[in-house]
Amino acid sequence: MKIYQSSFHTVKFTDLEVDWERYYLQRPDKIFFEKVYEKWASIDNELLDEKNFTRAKKSHAVKIHELFQNQRKILSIGIGNGITESELLNMDPSYEINGVDFVRDKRWDSRIQYFNNLKACNGFSYEGILLNSVIYNFSDTKLSDLVSSLHKIVVEGGKVIVWDQDLPTLADLKEIKRRHSRLPKKGKGVVLWGELRSPSKIKNFFRKKFRHIESKYYYVGHDLQDHETKPFFRIMGYKIWQSKDFHANTSQLHIFKKIN
């Protein structure tokens, strides 16, 4: 399911000086992301709902730390603010973390090594890969390339953790599609931020090179924390129903291992 976005944290895309003939309802590229980060730096990288966002990202670290068991040499791709990864280092200083993104955020722990693209990691080897809220930014072609590239830099027995938003319920999908159909064909300020995929679609991408070990499903409760829930009943990947107790969207986490 396509997702359109008009802002990133406190940056409104209408404030960006970009060629909207090129970007309106299209996927952002490196140039667009760099404009976003340039604008964000000019407003001191202010986060939206900083307190709750930081708390949620730190609590992700607790879950990820449990899942990484023996893995300590980690690459986080699309590391963003690096709050989760910095928290991993607070929990266990024996982590060696590298991060890939378009810029290095001021919040990163100084022990995290920065790379501005995945190619720069060639020649390194990692016991764990973290893709937290990232793969939806990748087109199918780019995701296939990513999986192949990862296979080259992950050690035998190494783990890949993919945590992404889940698809909505069928009822929400109908409403979302209605809203999307009302977007004008031309304009400014809205981009195709990415694509949410079903659990089986995500697993199929990674299974080309890795073995699927386990999946977990979470909902955001009214305490704004992620809580594990049972797998959902689905039609075409979309949830049939979700409890009204869920404050926000659900997420899916998949663990893969490199086993030849």
Ligand X SMILES: C[S@@+](CC[C@H](N)C(=O)[O-])C[C@H]1O[C@@H](n2cnc3c(N)ncnc32)[C@H](O)[C@@H]1O
Between residues 132 and 250, which has the closer beta carbon with respect to ligand X? 132
> Under a CB-based contact definition with an 8 Å cutoff, are residues 137 and 194 in contact?
yes
In angstroms, what is the minimal distance from the CB of 195 to ligand X? 12
Is the CB of 59 or the CB of 170 nearer to ligand X?
A: 59
The β-bridge partners of 248 are 220
Give the number of C-alpha atoms closer than 13 A to the C-alpha of residue 88, restricted to the C-beta side: 31
Measured distance between the N- and C-terminal CA atoms of the chain, rounded to whole angstroms: 32
Enumerate helices (H) and strands (E) in the chain, giving the number of each. 7, 14
- Least distance CB 99 / ligand X (angstroms): 9
CB of 247 to ligand X, least distance (A): 18
Contact 206, 147 (CB under 8 A): yes
Measured CA to CA, the distance from residue 50 to residue 236 in angstroms comes to: 35
The residue assigned the tokens 């920065």 is 114
CA distance 20 to 102: 21
User: Shortest gap between Cβ of 133 and ligand X (angstroms)?
Assistant: 4
CA distance 139 to 145: 10
Query: Taking the complex as a whole, how short is the minimal distance between the CB of residue 95 and ligand X, in angstroms?
Result: 16
Q: Which residues are CB-neighbours of 16 under 8 A, at least 6 positions away?
A: 32, 35, 36, 39
Q: What does the binding site for ligand X look like in residue numbers (CB under 6 A)?
A: 33, 57, 77-81, 84, 100-102, 132-134, 137
Q: How far is the CB of 117 from ligand X (least distance, A)?
A: 7
Contact 11/39 with Cβ under 8 angstroms? yes
